């Protein structure tokens, strides 16, 4: 049975039982505790936590999940995947243990002809929580599982919580006996490899308190409703129904391994080491594709870092298996073919996915090349020092700073006749992980207590009238101050005001919240921010400027006309920039974030290369052409499917409801899903002036622009600047670029000439410096601070000249200077000095410690840089001490 059919049968089973089918949420959710969705119940957390009321009593979903805590373990075991699909059914107070158990058993054991999975019931085992007699009795008396196949486990295994205070409860897990060839007899307690867990049923009826770990917390009470949360692993069920040994041999992952065999020439199943690499490729390719699909791009922190790490592990593994050149496109295309039946949106976004993955591969191959050169330098230094080992800190620096994988370092070391201090490397890695874990724990936040707003979310959602008007009459439903409901507040107080209706736009979709004021018979208040809770209640953050405000009062809510006008210009301008950008760069340039505030817009997009001046000019002209055309701006409310059929663009990572709002500017010119506020005609945006383009991370660029009068102000200032330059240069404005280029060329030539004269002067002093040398332990020492401004390159030239003048005698030369904030230094030793046991690396190390820097190189020549000029004198003394102790 193919995986997409397993998914379909699961969904149909529960839909037929009256469950609402809920599409998978994005892998990226706005959750302070999670980088990615890591369990099927995560999108339903607000319902379980009591923050929101679910729109259905029972639901079913097949949720995309990613877990990355143990990336290094992937492939070593055959059961661990970073990406997996969790099929689940959920009840929010509708049914409990009996129905959950019977529903699961029915699907598992029902014949294939009748829509089930056809598992032999005699091979299914179950576990229950230690004292859950009720669940055990249901399994035995009502379902018919023999008592000897029902086992009891403790809290660590059969009690579920989210790891933070909140809903929890005992669970019951269903296992499949794969046979004696997979391990010993005795049920899941005896061997959880032979007995594979396929489904976990959580009976969520309690609330846990503070605590750490799976079993170190207190049960503080019962929930108002008893809920059900179950999770069936699609990949594990596919493994069993397809009769294969492990998840890597199923229809979703085996084709990737087969393609990797073609690319590398290696064979899966030949060695354990190679098998791990093949599995890494298969697993990470699928996870990487799904992360890119949901809008993640490679970066150096957070989600981007995880994606980058996965993609680079693919490239590294392919290389170690024997691949040469680029492999990513072929591997990713194989994943596309296996996953598209379940996720049709992959095909729609394939070009963007391919571009991101291939771009990261090209970048990493360059990293591997530079890392190889660095390694060769370290290896040469180690051999020269008589060492047979690459130090652990060197291997760690290659890995951590330069992204060079440790196993490649070890492979290259072996080729050079060296070993790697792997113990030292892993010790440093452990320290880094400990720091990261501590930092993550420090940042980890519990769920904000939004229970105070619950009754308003459920019973009094705010009516938003701001699409059509700037002023409206409303009623104050509640006041919130310092996290508590209050009856009234006086002048000078800061409070949150909940109204029954409001014209104020709450911050969302990159558009800042409206500003304005609230007025009543006995008070006045300024509104400086508006936020949403549960997507239903508007919280007006206000300062009372006069009188006293109280719950139950009538109020006039008035949005600042100027603020709204300029905010609309910026938001609509963002849509024009997005459309123009895609015309110039193509469909792979996809929005990655935005900020719109009055007169200003910031637009982030996924793209690998810096934009040229011509591209920026074209984007600006196309956007302003749309302004000049005076397109009509229309908004359409429809279903998500209909919006997609219309060609409307959606934001990756955004979760849309059943009804969406399409903003259309000029028909096909721009059509996006957007809940923001826009102008009525594109001409109302006014001129758009692009300020520039920059990088905000690997693979992500940013365009900034002004709109309306802010654009006019910017262009006026630019005009005045050009006019001033024209006057100073005594040239018409169109000749200014050529004049500046000519002046710049003259200045560079003059600077070069000055530098040459300085070098000649310094070289002319070399004889004087050598003549003033001192002798330490029979070694001639020339250690001097040269005039400020001498850079590292010039120091090296002068040091080599001084060394040459000292001929065959044992001599040490060290020159340093203060060059801006830096303190460069160079050491040069004659062969005779090296023969006496001196090394340039030791010399620069001693000097560098005194000036807050470090350096390295070969025994005859080494250099470095520091930042503490006050230590130069002590550094020169340290050099002589090294020679004295040699």
Cα(190)–Cα(200) distance, integer angstroms: 18
User: For the segment 632-654, what is each residue's pLDDT rounded down to a tens digit?
Assistant: 999 999 988 888 888 887 765 55
The CATH number of 3-249 is 3.30.930.10
Mean pLDDT of 526-543: 93
Residue 761 has pLDDT above 80, yes or no: no
Q: Is 792 helix (H, G, I), strand (E, B) or coil?
A: helix
Residue 311 has pLDDT above 90, yes or no: yes
Q: Is 252 helix (H, G, I), strand (E, B) or coil?
A: coil
Banded model confidence at residue 444, pLDDT cuts 50, 70, 90: very low
Banded model confidence at residue 448, pLDDT cuts 50, 70, 90: very low
Residue 460: count other Cβ atoms within 10 Å of its Cβ. Answer: 17
What local confidence, expressed as pLDDT, does residue 449 receive?
53
Which of 569, 792, 795, 786 has its CA nearest to residue 684?
A: 569
Which of 354, 677, 356 has its CA nearest to residue 507?
A: 677
User: For the segment 280-297, what is each residue's pLDDT rounded down to a tens digit?
Assistant: 999 999 999 999 999 888
Cα(662)–Cα(211) distance, integer angstroms: 46
Torsions phi, psi for 18 (to 5 deg): 90, 10
What local confidence, expressed as pLDDT, does residue 782 receive?
94
Under a CB-based contact definition with an 8 Å cutoff, are residues 604 and 591 in contact? yes
Class for the domain spanning 451-559: mainly beta
Query: Model-level pTM?
Result: 0.67
Q: What is the mean pLDDT of the chain?
A: 89
What local confidence, expressed as pLDDT, does residue 445 receive?
37
Cα(561)–Cα(297) distance, integer angstroms: 38
- DSSP per residue over 336-357, as a string? HHHHTTT-THHHHTHHHHHHHH
Which of 304, 360, 305, 309 has its CA nearest to residue 332?
A: 360
The CATH number of 564-718 is 3.30.980.10
Residue 142 per-residue DSSP state: I
Strands (E), 97-165: 124-129, 150-153, 159-161
Domain ranges of the chain: 3-249, 254-370, 387-447, 451-559, 564-718, 765-884
Which of 448, 449, 394, 439 has its CA nearest to residue 416?
A: 394
Give Cα 847 to chain centroid, integer Å: 41
For 608, how many CA atoms within 13 A lie in the half-sphere containing its CB? 15
Class for the domain spanning 765-884: alpha beta
Q: How much of the chain, in percent, has pLDDT values that exceed 90?
A: 59
Cα(230)–Cα(55) distance, integer angstroms: 19
User: For the segment 561-610, what is each residue's pLDDT rounded down to a tens digit?
Assistant: 999 999 999 999 999 999 999 999 988 788 888 999 999 999 998 887 88
């Amino acid at each position: 049975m193919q995986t997409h059919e397993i998914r379909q049968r699961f969904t149909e089973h529960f839909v037929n039982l009256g469950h609402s089918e809920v599409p998978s949420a994005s892998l990226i959710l706005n959750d302070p505790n999670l980088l990615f969705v890591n369990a099927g119940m995560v999108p339903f957390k607000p319902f379980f936590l009591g923050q929101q009321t679910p729109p259905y009593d029972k639901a079913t979903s097949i949720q995309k999940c990613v877990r990355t805590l143990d990336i290094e373990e992937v492939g070593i075991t055959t059961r661990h995947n970073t990406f997996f699909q969790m099929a689940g059914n959920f009840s929010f107070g509708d049914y409990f243990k009996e129905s959950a158990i019977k529903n699961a058993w029915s699907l598992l054991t029902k014949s294939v002809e009748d829509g089930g999975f056809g598992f032999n019931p005699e091979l299914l085992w179950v576990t229950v929580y230690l004292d859950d007699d009720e669940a055990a009795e249901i399994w035995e008396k009502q379902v018919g599982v023999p008592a000897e196949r029902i086992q009891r486990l403790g809290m660590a295994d059969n009690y579920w919580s989210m790891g933070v205070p909140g809903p929890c409860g005992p669970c019951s897990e269903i296992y499949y006996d794969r046979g004696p060839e997979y391990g010993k007899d005795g049920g899941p307690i005896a061997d959880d490899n032979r007995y594979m867990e396929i489904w976990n049923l959580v009976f969520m009826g309690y609330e846990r308190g503070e605590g750490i770990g799976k079993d170190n917390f207190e049960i503080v009470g019962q929930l108002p409703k008893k809920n059900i949360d179950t999770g069936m692993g699609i990949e594990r069920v596919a493994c069993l129904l397809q009769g294969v040994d492990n998840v890597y041999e199923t229809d979703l992952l085996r084709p990737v391994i087969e393609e990797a065999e073609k690319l590398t020439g290696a064979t899966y199943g030949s060695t354990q080491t190679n098998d791990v690499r093949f599995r890494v490729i298969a697993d990470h390719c699928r996870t990487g594709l799904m992360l890119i699909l949901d809008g993640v791009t490679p970066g150096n922190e957070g989600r981007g870092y995880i994606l980058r790490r996965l993609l680079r592990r693919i490239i590294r593994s392919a290389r170690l298996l024997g691949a040469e050149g680029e492999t990513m496109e072929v591997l990713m295309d194989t994943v596309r073919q296996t996953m598209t039946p379940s996720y049709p949106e992959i095909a729609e976004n394939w070009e963007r996915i391919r571009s991101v993955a291939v771009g990261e591969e090209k970048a990493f191959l360059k990293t591997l090349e530079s890392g190889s050169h660095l390694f060769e330098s370290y290896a040469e230094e180690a051999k020269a020092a008589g060492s047979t080992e690459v130090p652990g800190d060197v291997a760690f620096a290659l890995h951590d700073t330069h992204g060079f994988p440790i196993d490649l370092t070890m492979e290259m070391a072996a080729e050079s006749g060296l070993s790697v201090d792997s113990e030292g490397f892993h010790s440093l890695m452990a320290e880094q992980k400990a720091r990261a874990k501590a930092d993550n724990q420090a940042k980890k936040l519990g769920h904000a207590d939004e229970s105070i707003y619950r009754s308003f979310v459920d019973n009094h959602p705010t009516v938003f009238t701001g699409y059509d008007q700037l002023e409206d009459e409303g009623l104050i439903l509640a006041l919130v101050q310092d996290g508590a409901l209050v009856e009234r507040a006086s002048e000078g107080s800061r409070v949150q005001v909940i109204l029954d209706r409001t014209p104020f736009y709450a911050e969302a979709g990159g558009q800042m919240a409206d500003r304005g004021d609230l007025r009543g018979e006995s008070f006045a208040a300024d509104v400086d921010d508006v936020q949403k809770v549960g997507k239903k209640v508007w919280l007006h953050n206000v300062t009372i400027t006069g009188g006293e405000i109280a719950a139950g009062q009538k109020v006039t809510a008035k949005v600042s006309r100027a603020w709204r006008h300029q905010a609309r210009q910026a938001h609509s301008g963002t849509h024009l920039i997005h459309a123009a950008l895609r015309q110039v760069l193509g469909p792979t340039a996809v929005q990655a974030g935005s900020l719109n505030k009055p007169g200003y817009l910031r637009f982030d997009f996924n793209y690998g290369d810096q934009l040229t001046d011509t591209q920026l000019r074209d984007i600006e002209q196309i956007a302003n052409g749309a302004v000049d055309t005076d397109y009509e701006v229309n908004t359409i409310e429809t279903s998500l499917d209909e919006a997609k059929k219309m060609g409307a663009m959606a934001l990756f990572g955004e979760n849309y409801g059943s009804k969406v709002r399409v903003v259309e500017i000029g028909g096909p010119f721009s059509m996006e899903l957007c809940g923001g506020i826009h102008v009525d005609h594109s001409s109302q945006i006014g001129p758009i002036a692009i300020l520039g383009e920059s990088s905000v991370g690997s693979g992500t660029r940013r365009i900034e622009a002004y709109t309306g009068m802010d654009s006019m102000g910017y262009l006026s200032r630019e005009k005045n600047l050009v006019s001033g330059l024209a006057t100073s240069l005594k040239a018409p404005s169109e000749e200014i670029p050529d004049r500046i280029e000519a002046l710049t060329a003259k200045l560079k030539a003059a600077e070069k000439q000055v530098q040459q004269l300085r070098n000649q002067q310094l070289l002319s002093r070399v004889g004087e410096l050598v003549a003033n040398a001192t002798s330490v332990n029979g070694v001639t020492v020339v250690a001097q601070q040269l005039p400020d401004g001498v850079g590292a390159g010039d120091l090296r030239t002068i040091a080599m000249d001084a060394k040459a003048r000292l001929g065959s005698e044992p001599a040490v030369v060290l020159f340093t200077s203060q060059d801006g904030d830096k303190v460069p230094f160079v050491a040069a030793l004659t062969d005779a000095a090296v023969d006496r046991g001196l090394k340039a690396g030791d010399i620069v190390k001693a000097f560098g410690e005194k000036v807050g820097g470090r350096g390295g190189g070969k025994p005859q020549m080494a250099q470095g840089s520091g930042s503490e000029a006050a230590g130069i004198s002590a550094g020169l003394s340290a050099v002589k001490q090294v020679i004295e102790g040699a």
